[in-house]
């Protein structure tokens, strides 16, 4: 490896590979990937063997099914892991101010870009190679033709190239890793599924069935190409993959265009920029109607809580006017779509799309809160403002609680659209039933979910942010924890179902640990009936809520009890803090 | 309050202080004391342990060994009281860029629990002291480095602390801003504050400080008065005499003086660098000789090159 580093043709590639090899994270991620892949394959294999009464000879010829499962897992792996790895490729250099140094070397922009591209694709290919032993098992069971195998490998490699180029483009465009990371995923979902979502929305509003040619809608989606050309020759797959290849080239060209133009772009909050532009626009518009001011921004100085004052009067998402804008930005489409679904759905007798809308507003609220709270203290560290704050006599819990005030305000604003959808759904249900009181139990449980899950999310993320040293690590870790929290219990329940062959009762109780499945159970009580075996799962839900509330209070306690240690200053040992101090009430004038 | 070696009250008393970052030792038994109402320089090359010591005194790092007392209070146990009596200025800006100068000072005044009229008075006085009153509505991010440092100093003074801990406040400042900062520090010293200031350039602090501690690789190499530092280079003192204009008889007069070891003319200037034996003559005799020879004295100061020489001898070469 060192030879490669010092060899002339690819110095940047060599440096990246050596750096990655020296990082512990590389091996941790690889082990996690391998464990997940092998575990899922094992469960699939076990389920298959169970369905064939454990007779291994009956399974001969079923290698193709196993192989398809394996390829599906690899697709999931690529979409989950590659954007995270590639999005830091260039932003890492920008954050260290080393990109400018690369520009003054003999390396040309294209060389920098391609060496970075290859340097971050190689680890992904090593992930794909991890499945070779499993591939051998699939092949041994038979049913896989050489053409099928080669076309699968071809599509997987092509997916890596496309997703890699996509993430590299954002890495080249964005000023920071976190921005590039979020853009890669969010825009990725829109890129692949956007056309299909548009078709569904159009169908929803026109009252028809989703239309559009699937070959066109999913022309850039490798998974669709793979599924659509099952059993086809490599040549056919290659022809169908031309749009994917072209899109890869386009992304690389765009990445090259952004590389120099946006190399020295200042790190600014995009949201703040948008709001500034919006402020200017609104002021100009307001002049036409005589300068009406509905909400006056308080122009005061800090009273007794300076950190809380700064959070709500100086931070981009803390200002009252900004919060109102975010609220309107989410609330207006929520009410519009919710109303349309109710009106159009009433003709069909159901409003199931409202559940999808509810999940969307929940996901948005969770994402914004996670990012904000994880960033709350790590941004102070990054801007080097924490030390002077810590040298003041304010107690650690006081500093944290003042920060949390702004988070609470955001959580409240983000909870309103959730409550709106819940109320619309409750009202729609009572309406479709032909009158009668709205589903009070449903409303109560949904409100409780918002009241418990949102504070839990910001306290957990705050705890992660307090312990992390960099912004990227804090936000990415918080998002990973959030996603794992939602997904792992569901996966565990699925695994237990497969292993035991039972799909109700205690086996599926892990579902109660995931906020996603709890919201689903509140939405569809019949689901709770199926999985829990009880028609009114009130007690189970109450216990689940109590568990989540306990998690919230545990993380709150952890943050406040270890506040000084996490913040990085001398403080009382754990458990030795007075009650007044823990509540942030020990502020006395100097 | 504890006492220093010469019996005066010690504002800072450090004994056997140890601190390591994982396996890398930063402080290895550091010991020194700072007398009340003096300006104490804390000098050392990069990586010597200056910032670590300052962070311990500012109650940001917990000492892993030894003791650090501020006003007789152990920073490990009485950190709350210590925080009330110190003003800390880190080696980086530490200011919120999105605030105005006034908001920034008001913010930190609130953080120190100052209320109402007392807060307004404190902020107003500091704006005057640091000559920032005219810029009170300017955003912090729009200030120059020199103004930023003045604001930072004002921030550290907002609660009227008795001890100021300044980590390399002059680094990155232009000569004018350096002089202005030095003037403010002298003024603060006159107001009865104790100033503990770190730097990696000894000669920069020589004129300002009453006492100095030199640290290198986590070990204190010297702690005492600046004058005492000269004796480290031997019994010989070194001064620079600058005249208004060239006057050869002055050189002759100085060479003829008993105890004077060498007189060298500084190339292209009307200055003479002279070394003399302290036991045989003193600065009064030298000044008298200059005046009696008819030379018009422009300045007479200690040669900071000697301090640099002492610093080089005390510290080891290379980066730790």
Distance (Å) of CA B135 to CA A133, B89, B131, B170, B181: 70, 20, 9, 21, 17
pLDDT tier for residue A584 given thresholds of 50, 70 and 90: low
Smallest Cβ distance to A569: which of B59, B92, B108? B59
Model confidence band, residue B162 (pLDDT cutoffs 50, 70, 90): very high
pLDDT in the model for residue A551 = 93
Hey, how many other C-beta atoms are within 10 angstroms of the C-beta on A461? 28
- pLDDT over 60 at A187, yes or no: yes
Tell me the Cα Rg of chain B.
Answer: 22
Q: Tell me the percentage of chain A whose pLDDT exceeds 90.
A: 26
Nearest chain B residue to A573 by CA: give it.
B77
Give Cα A19 to chain centroid, integer Å: 26
Instruction: Give me the total of CB pairs closer than 8 Å, taking one residue from chain A and one from chain B.
Output: 94
> Which chain A residue is nearest to residue B79, measuring alpha carbons?
A570
Does residue B234 register a pLDDT over 70?
no
pLDDT at A532: 63
**Token pair of A269, please?**
């909050």
pLDDT of residue A329: 79
Task: Give the distance from residue B96's alpha carbon to the nearest chain A alpha carbon, in angstroms.
Answer: 7
A28-42, A226-240, A326-340: range with highest mean pLDDT: A28-42
pLDDT for A347 equals 54
What percentage of residues in chain B have a pLDDT greater than 70?
A: 93
Cβ neighbour number for residue A440 with a 10 Å cutoff: 9
Instruction: Choose from B62, B111, B122, B156 for mutation: most chain A CBs within 10 A.
Output: B111
Tell me which of A190 and B230 has the higher pLDDT: A190
Q: What is the mean pLDDT of residues A36-48?
A: 88
Neighbours of A396 (CB within 10 A): 26
Residue A575 has pLDDT above 80, yes or no: no
> Is A252's pLDDT higher than 90?
yes
- B75-79, long-range: CB < 8 A, 24+ apart: B75/A570, B76/A570, B79/A569, B79/A570, B79/A571
Supply the pLDDT for residue A283.
74
Q: How far is CA B179 from CA B133, B173, B193, B208, in A?
A: 19, 9, 19, 10
**SS3 for B39?**
strand
Instruction: Output the 3-class SS for A242-271.
Output: HHHHHHHHHHHHHHHHHHHHCCCCCCCCHH
* Mean of per-residue pLDDT scores for chain A: 83
SS3 assignment, position B53: helix
Of the listed ranges A28-37, A87-96, A163-172, A575-584, the least confidently predicted one is A575-584
Q: Is the pLDDT confidence value at A545 over 80?
A: yes
Show Cβ contacts of residue B71 under 8 Å, excluding neighbours closer than 6 positions: B1, B11, B81, B82, B85, B162, B163
**Span A260-299, pLDDT tens digits:** 988 887 766 666 677 777 777 777 777 777 666 666 666 5
Residue with the bigger pLDDT between A163 and A210: it is: A163
For residue A585, pLDDT over 60 is answered with no
The structural domains of chain A, with segments of one domain joined by +, span: 2-261, 351-570
Three-class secondary structure of residue B43 per DSSP: strand
Q: What local confidence, expressed as pLDDT, does residue B261 receive?
A: 83
pTM above 0.90, yes or no: no
| B274: pLDDT strictly greater than 80 | yes
Res A92: pLDDT: 86
Confidence of residue A54 (pLDDT cuts 50, 70, 90): low
A569 with B103: Cβ contact below 8 A:
no
* Average pLDDT score over chain B: 86
pLDDT at A299: 59
Query: A239 CB contacts (<8 Å, ≥6 apart)?
Result: none
pLDDT value at residue A316: 67
By mean pLDDT, which of A38-42, A173-177, A369-373, A578-582 is the weakest?
A578-582
Distance CA A310, CA A337 (A): 35
Task: Average the pLDDT over A502-522 and give the result.
Answer: 80
How far apart, in whole angstroms, are the C-alpha atoms of residue A148 and residue A70? 13
> Residue A3 pLDDT more than 60?
no
Q: For A435-472, what is each residue's pLDDT tens digit?
A: 555 577 788 888 999 999 999 999 999 999 999 888 77
Average confidence (pLDDT) over B1-21: 82
**Bigger pLDDT: B225 or B55?**
B55
Nearest Cβ partner for B93 among A304, A384, A589: A384
Nearest-CB residue to B114 (from A314, A387, A590) = A590
Q: Please check whether residue A570 touches B, CB under 8 A.
A: yes
Give the one of A301, A306, A570 whose C-beta lies nearest to B111's C-beta.
Answer: A306
Site of tokens 């260290």: A96
ipTM of the complex: 0.80
Digit-coded pLDDT (tens) for A74-113: 999 999 889 988 988 999 888 888 888 888 888 899 999 9
């Amino acid at each position: 490896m060192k030879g490669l580093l010092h060899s002339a043709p690819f110095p940047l590639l060599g440096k990246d590979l050596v750096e990655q090899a020296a990082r512990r994270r590389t091996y941790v991620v690889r082990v996690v990937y391998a464990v997940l892949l092998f575990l899922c394959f094992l469960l699939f294999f076990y389920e298959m063997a169970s369905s064939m009464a454990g007779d291994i000879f009956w399974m001969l010829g079923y290698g193709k099914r196993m192989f398809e499962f394996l390829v599906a897992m690899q697709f999931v792996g690529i979409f989950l892991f590659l954007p995270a790895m590639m999005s830091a490729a260039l932003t890492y250099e920008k954050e260290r101010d080393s990109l400018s140094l690369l520009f003054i070397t003999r390396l040309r922009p294209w060389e920098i870009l391609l060496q970075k591209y290859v340097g971050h694709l190689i680890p992904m290919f090593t992930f794909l190679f991890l499945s070779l032993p499993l591939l051998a098992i699939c092949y041994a069971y038979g049913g896989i033709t050489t053409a099928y195998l080669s076309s699968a490998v071809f599509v997987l490699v092509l997916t890596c190239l496309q997703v890699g180029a996509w993430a590299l483009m954002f890495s080249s465009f964005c000023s920071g890793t976190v921005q590039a990371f979020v853009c890669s995923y969010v825009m990725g979902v829109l890129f692949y599924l956007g056309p299909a979502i548009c078709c569904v929305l159009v169908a929803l509003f026109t009252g028809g069935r989703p239309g559009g040619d699937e070959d066109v809608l999913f022309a850039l989606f490798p998974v669709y190409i793979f599924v659509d050309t099952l059993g086809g020759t490599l040549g056919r797959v290659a022809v169908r993959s031309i749009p994917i290849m072209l899109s890869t080239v386009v992304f690389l060209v765009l990445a090259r265009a952004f590389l120099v133009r946006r190399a020295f772009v200042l790190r600014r909050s995009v949201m703040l920029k948008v709001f500034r532009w919006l402020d200017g626009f609104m002021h100009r518009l307001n002049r036409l109607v005589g300068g009406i001011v509905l909400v006056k921004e308080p122009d005061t100085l800090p009273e007794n809580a300076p950190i809380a004052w700064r959070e709500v009067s100086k931070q981009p998402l803390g200002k009252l006017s900004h919060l109102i804008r975010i609220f309107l930005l989410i609330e207006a489409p929520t009410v519009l779509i919710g109303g349309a679904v109710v009106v159009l759905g009433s003709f069909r007798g159901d409003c199931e799309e409202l559940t999808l809308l509810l999940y969307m507003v929940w996901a948005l609220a969770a994402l914004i809160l996670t990012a904000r709270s994880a960033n709350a203290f790590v941004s102070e560290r990054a801007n080097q403002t924490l030390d002077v704050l810590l040298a003041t006599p304010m107690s650690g819990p006081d500093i944290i609680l003042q920060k949390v005030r702004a988070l609470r305000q955001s959580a409240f604003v983000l909870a309103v659209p959730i409550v709106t959808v819940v109320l619309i759904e409750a009202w729609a249900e009572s309406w479709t039933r032909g009158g009668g009181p709205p589903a009070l139990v449903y409303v109560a449980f949904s409100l409780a979910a918002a009241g418990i899950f949102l504070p839990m999310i910001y306290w957990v993320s705050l705890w992660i942010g307090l312990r992390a040293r960099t912004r990227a690590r804090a936000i990415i870790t918080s998002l990973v924890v959030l996603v794992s929290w939602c997904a792992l219990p569901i996966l565990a329940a699925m695994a237990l179902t497969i292993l035991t062959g039972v799909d109700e009762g205690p086996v599926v109780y892990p579902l109660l640990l995931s906020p996603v499945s709890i919201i689903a159970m509140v939405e569809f009580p019949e689901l709770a009936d199926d999985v829990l075996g009880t028609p009114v799962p009130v007690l189970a839900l109450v216990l689940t809520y109590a568990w989540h509330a306990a998690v919230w209070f545990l993380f709150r306690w952890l943050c406040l009890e270890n506040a000084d240690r996490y913040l990085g200053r001398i403080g009382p040992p754990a458990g030795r803090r007075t009650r007044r101090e823990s509540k942030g009430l020990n502020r006395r004038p100097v | 309050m504890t006492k220093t070696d010469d019996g005066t009250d010690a504002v800072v008393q450090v004994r056997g202080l140890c601190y390591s970052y994982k396996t890398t030792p930063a402080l290895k038994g550091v010991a020194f004391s700072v007398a009340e109402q003096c300006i104490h320089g804390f000098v050392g090359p990069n990586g010597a342990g200056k910032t670590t010591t300052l962070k311990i005194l500012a109650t940001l790092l917990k000492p892993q060994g030894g003791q650090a007392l501020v006003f007789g209070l152990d920073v490990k146990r009485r950190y709350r009281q210590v925080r009330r009596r110190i003003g800390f200025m880190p080696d980086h800006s530490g200011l919120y860029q999105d605030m105005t100068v006034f908001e920034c000072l008001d913010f930190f005044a609130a953080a120190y629990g100052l209320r109402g009229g007392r807060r307004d008075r404190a902020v107003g006085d500091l704006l005057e002291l640091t000559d920032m009153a005219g810029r009170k509505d300017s955003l912090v991010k729009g200030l120059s480095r020199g103004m930023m440092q003045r604001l930072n100093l004002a921030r550290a003074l907002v609660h009227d602390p008795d001890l100021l801990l300044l980590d390399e406040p002059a680094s990155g400042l232009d000569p004018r801003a350096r002089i202005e900062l030095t003037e403010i520090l002298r003024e603060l010293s006159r107001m009865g504050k104790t100033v503990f200031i770190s730097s990696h350039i000894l000669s920069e602090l020589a004129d300002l400080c009453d006492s100095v501690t030199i640290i290198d690789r986590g070990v204190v190499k010297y702690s005492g008065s600046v004058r005492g530092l000269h004796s480290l280079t031997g019994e010989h003192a070194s001064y620079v005499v600058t005249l208004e204009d060239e006057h050869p008889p002055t050189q002759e007069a100085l060479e003829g003086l008993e105890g004077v070891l060498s007189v060298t003319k500084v190339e292209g200037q009307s200055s003479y660098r002279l070394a003399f034996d302290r036991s045989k003559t003193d600065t009064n005799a030298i000044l008298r000789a200059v005046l009696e020879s008819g030379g018009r004295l422009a300045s007479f100061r200690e040669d900071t090159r000697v301090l640099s020489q002492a610093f080089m001898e005390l510290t080891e070469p290379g980066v730790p």
